[in-house]
């Protein structure tokens, strides 16, 4: 399988020209995919805009060895010609060799097999991750980070996804942690992926509980005034879906 990715050039002198060419190529590939039903359902081109380069390459521009094919779920054409694309990861792959680097990155890849996620330990950890995510949602609602009609708001994915798919969906919510997302994508074990996510969620839940307790204490004491803002680690970015 050969995959294409829009990729930036790290030669500063030629960056502006290269970025323009890449942007044009990216738009052409995108338009071809969204206008062709067979490509939309069986996307063989992994498209990623140059602005998102940090998600699949390091600071030196070296690409990650593990990636994922994408299926375009929906798209919106904007007035300025840009495309707003919503996509879903389908299959993980390993880069075997780089075929071409310019004007876009083309690689030969091997699709990776997924492990069995039916083992009782995997199912048990998945259930713990589900409950932690539910708790995190309730805490965010209480804090006012997200606003929903019901504090028991629960994404459908928490109810229907099996352990493996759940682990990938949870990782997709770590939007402010792109490098961690890549680490999770590269993990071959569903159990280990879930354990890693469990640790992140536990840290986020504990932090938010402590933060809410402090804010509640200051709010109840009118003579103390409000707390100042501070850096935080509130975990996955949660939004209404």
For residue 43, what is the domain's CATH number? 2.30.130
When the pLDDT of each residue in the chain is averaged and rounded to a whole number, the result is 75
Query: Do 40 and 129 lie in a common domain?
Result: no
pLDDT confidence of residue 226: 47
Q: What are the tens digits of pLDDT across the range 99-147? A: 887 777 788 999 999 999 999 999 999 999 999 999 999 999 888 887 7
- Half-sphere exposure of residue 179, counting CA atoms within 13 Å on the CB side? 3
**Mean pLDDT, range 5-15, rounded to an integer:** 37
pLDDT confidence of residue 82: 78
pLDDT band, very low/low/confident/very high, at 54 (cuts 50, 70, 90): very low
72-81 contacts at long range (C-beta below 8 A, 24 or more positions apart): 72/33, 72/34, 72/40, 72/43, 75/30, 75/34, 81/27
Query: Do 99 and 159 lie in a common domain?
Result: no
* 99 close to 106: Cβ distance less than 8 angstroms: yes
Domain contains 234: no
Last residue of a domain, one of 111, 143, 172: 111
Query: Do 104 and 160 lie in a common domain?
Result: no
Phi, psi for residue 187 in degrees, rounded to 5: -75, 125
Query: Do 156 and 209 lie in a common domain?
Result: yes
Domain contains 230: no
Q: What is the C-alpha separation between 105 and 45, in angstroms, rounded? A: 11
Last residue of a domain, one of 63, 93, 111: 111
Query: Do 128 and 189 lie in a common domain?
Result: yes
Domain contains 188: yes
* 41 close to 71: Cβ distance less than 8 angstroms: yes
Query: Do 105 and 130 lie in a common domain?
Result: no
Domain contains 239: no
Domain count across the chain: 2
47 vs 39, 41, 143, 153, 176, CA distance in Å?
Answer: 12, 14, 37, 33, 20
Query: Do 103 and 134 lie in a common domain?
Result: no
Last residue of a domain, one of 62, 80, 111: 111
Q: What are the tens digits of pLDDT across the range 131-189? A: 999 999 999 988 888 776 655 578 899 999 999 999 999 999 998 898 899 999 999 99
* Triad 142, 145, 146: Cα angle to 5°: 85
Query: Do 210 and 155 lie in a common domain?
Result: yes
Choice between 49 and 67, residue whose per-residue pLDDT is larger: 67
Cβ neighbour number for residue 213 with a 10 Å cutoff? 10
Query: Do 139 and 101 lie in a common domain?
Result: no
Domain that holds residue 200: 120-220
Query: Do 182 and 131 lie in a common domain?
Result: yes
Query: Do 91 and 132 lie in a common domain?
Result: no
Distance from first CA to last CA of the chain, Å, rounded? 33
Query: Do 104 and 124 lie in a common domain?
Result: no
Domain contains 82: yes
């Amino acid at each position: 399988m050969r995959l294409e990715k829009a990729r930036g050039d790290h030669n500063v002198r030629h960056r502006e020209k290269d970025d323009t060419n890449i942007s044009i190529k990216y738009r052409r590939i995108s338009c071809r995919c969204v206008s062709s039903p067979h490509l939309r359902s069986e996307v063989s081109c992994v498209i990623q805009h140059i602005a998102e380069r940090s998600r699949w390459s390091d600071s030196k521009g070296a690409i990650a060895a593990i990636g994922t094919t994408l299926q375009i779920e929906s798209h919106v054409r904007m007035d300025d010609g840009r495309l707003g694309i919503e996509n879903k990861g389908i299959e993980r792959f390993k880069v075997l060799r780089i075929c071409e680097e310019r004007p876009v990155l083309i690689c030969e890849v091997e699709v990776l097999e997924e492990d069995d996620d039916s083992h009782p330990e995997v199912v048990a950890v998945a259930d713990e991750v589900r409950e932690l995510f539910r708790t995190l949602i309730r805490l965010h609602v209480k804090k006012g980070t997200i606003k929903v009609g019901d504090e028991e708001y629960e994404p459908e994915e928490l109810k229907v996804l099996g352990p493996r798919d759940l682990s990938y969906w949870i990782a997709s919510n770590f939007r402010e942690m792109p490098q961690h997302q890549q680490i999770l994508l590269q993990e071959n074990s569903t159990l280990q992926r879930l354990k890693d996510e469990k640790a992140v969620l536990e840290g986020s839940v504990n932090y938010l509980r402590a933060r809410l307790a402090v804010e509640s204490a200051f709010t109840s004491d009118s003579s103390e005034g409000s707390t100042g803002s501070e850096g935080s680690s509130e975990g996955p970015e949660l939004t209404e879906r």
